[in-house]
Amino acid sequence: MIQRESPLPLYQQLFIILKQKIVNGSIPVGSKLPGEDEIEAFYNVSRTTVRQAIEILVKEGFVNKQQGKGTFVIANKPKSIQTIQGLKSIAFLLPDLLQQYANNIAASVVSKVETCLQQKRFNLTLAQSKYSIQNENHILQVLARENAGIIWLPEDESYRAASHYAFQLAADGYPLLLFDRTIKGLDAGYVVTDNYAAMASLIQYLISLGHRSIAFYGTLTHRPTSLEDRFNGYLHTIAKNGLTINYDWIFPEGEKGLHQLFLCLSQKERPTAVVCKDDIDAYQVIEKALGVGLNIPQDLSVTGFDNLKINFYDLKLTTVNQDPDLLGSYLAEQMITAVNANLPLGKIVLPAPLIVGNTTCPVKE
Beta partners for 128? 94
317 falls within a domain: yes
59 falls within a domain: yes
Domain count, the chain: 3
Question: Residue 76: what pLDDT?
Answer: 85
36 and 91 assigned to the same domain:
no
301 and 259 assigned to the same domain:
yes
Final residue of a structural domain among 46, 76, 106:
76
361 falls within a domain: no
- For residue 169, the tally of other CB atoms under 10 A from its CB is 22
106 falls within a domain: yes
CATH of the domain at 44: 1.10.10.10
- From CA 69, how far away is CA 301, in angstroms rounded? 72
CATH of the domain at 287: 3.40.50.2300
Domain that holds residue 20: 10-76
354 falls within a domain: no
User: What tens-digit pLDDT sequence spans the chain (365 residues)?
Assistant: 677 777 788 888 899 899 889 988 889 989 999 999 999 999 999 999 999 999 999 998 899 999 888 999 998 888 777 766 667 899 999 998 876 544 578 989 999 999 999 999 999 999 999 999 999 999 999 999 999 999 999 998 999 999 999 999 998 889 999 999 999 999 999 999 999 999 999 999 999 999 999 999 999 877 899 999 999 999 999 999 999 999 999 999 999 999 999 999 999 999 999 999 999 999 999 999 999 999 999 999 999 999 998 888 899 999 999 999 999 999 999 999 999 888 889 999 999 999 999 999 999 86
Question: Residue 310: what pLDDT?
Answer: 85
Final residue of a structural domain among 52, 76, 100:
76
What size, in residues, is the chain? Answer: 365
- From CA 97, how far away is CA 294, in angstroms rounded? 36
Half-sphere exposure of 321 (CA within 13 A, CB side): 10
- From CA 158, how far away is CA 139, in angstroms rounded? 18
Three state DSSP letters for 137-172: HHHHHHHHHHCCEEEECCCCCCCCCCCCHHHHHHHH
Which residue type, as a one-letter code, is found at position 173? G
- From CA 164, how far away is CA 136, in angstroms rounded? 9
Contacts of range 123-128, beta carbons closer than 8 Å, 24 or more positions apart: 123/88, 123/89, 123/90, 124/89, 124/90, 124/91, 124/92, 125/89, 125/90, 125/91, 125/92, 126/91, 126/92, 126/94, 126/97, 127/91, 127/92, 127/93, 127/94, 128/93, 128/94, 128/95, 128/96, 128/97
147 and 183 assigned to the same domain:
yes
